[in-house]
Amino acid sequence: MSGDEENVLECAECSELVELLSEYLDGEATPEARVRLVAHIQSCDHCARLVWRMRELIGRCRCEAPAEMPAEVHQQLWQVIVREIRVEHHTPEA
């Protein structure tokens, strides 16, 4: 686990905003959630790096994927990723 991941999970606001990352990165966050996330990312280096790494990973996956992933599969994949992060970092579900 990187220092950024540890810091994100130790901060209550960061942990709460991690919940919104999927929607934010997919461009599906509500305007209010987007404003809140962007403001937090601008003031939190740890979350900014996490978002950057997630965008990079998503970009790589999109480049490697030969076909469009169905929306249902995409949502399920995000749920698994978030669940695995919580298990790895012992973070309770919201």
Compute the average pLDDT of residues 43-53. Answer: 85
Supply the pLDDT for residue 1. Answer: 45
Which residue, among 42, 50, 44, has the nearest Cα to 5 in the 3D structure?
50
Rounded distance between C-alpha atoms, residue 41 and residue 53, angstroms: 13
> Who's near 93: CB < 8 A, 6+ residues apart?
83, 86
Instruction: Give the domain range for residue 69.
Output: 3-89
Alpha-carbon gap, residue 53 to 93, rounded angstroms = 22
The pTM of this model reads 0.53
94 within some domain? no
40 assigned to some structural domain:
yes
**58-86 average pLDDT score:** 81
Residue bearing tokens 């900014």: 48
* Domain-located, residue 20: yes
Residue 12 lies in a domain: yes
Which pLDDT does position 92 carry in this prediction? 66
- CA–CA dist 25, 52 (Å, integer): 10
Total structural domains in the chain? 1
pLDDT in tens, 7-38: 555 566 777 777 788 888 888 889 998 898 88
